[in-house]
Structure formats: structure tokens, C-alpha cells
Amino acid sequence: MKTKKFLCAERVQRLMMSVFTLIILILLAKGATLPALILLAFMSIMLFIYFAFDFCPSTWMLTKLLGSCFCECDGEKDENQL
């Protein structure tokens, strides 16, 4: 079940990815192609690690700091179970 928390690990991670992409676009617009391509390669490698191993280091670290957006609340049953 999702909680109503505004700052939780998964949401902050998506915000970080959008800001990171915006920084890359700004660098490309300013003509700094090498730093932008290095950041883009880093982001692509991290996304591939997330795809291949189902492990995202930033989400793992943010979950330790902020907690997850998903909780196992008492009194609520899992909708996926029979």
C-alpha cells in the first residue's frame, strides 16, 4: 500500500533523475558536450544496473534516510494475495 508521504525514497529518486536530466540538457545547450556526455553515460550505466540486477543504489540509500513509499500497514490486506 502506498503512503501519503511527500518525501519518500522512490519519489525523491525520480525527482533527482529529472533534475539530473535537466542539468544534462543545460550543459548541452551551453555547449559543454563532454561533461554532459559523461553525466549521461553515468546515468545510463546506473539505469542498466537497476535493470539487470533490480538494485538501484540511490533508492537503497534514500530508503535508509527517508523511508520507502510503500508500507505494510496493520489491518490492510494485500490486494495481490488470494
0.75 cut: is pTM over it?
no
Per-residue pLDDT of the chain (82 residues; tens, 9 = 90+): 555 677 888 888 889 999 999 999 999 999 999 999 999 999 999 999 989 998 888 888 888 888 888 765 555 455 555 5
Domain boundaries, the chain: 9-66
Question: Is the sign of the CA dihedral 26, 29, 30, 31 positive or negative?
Answer: positive
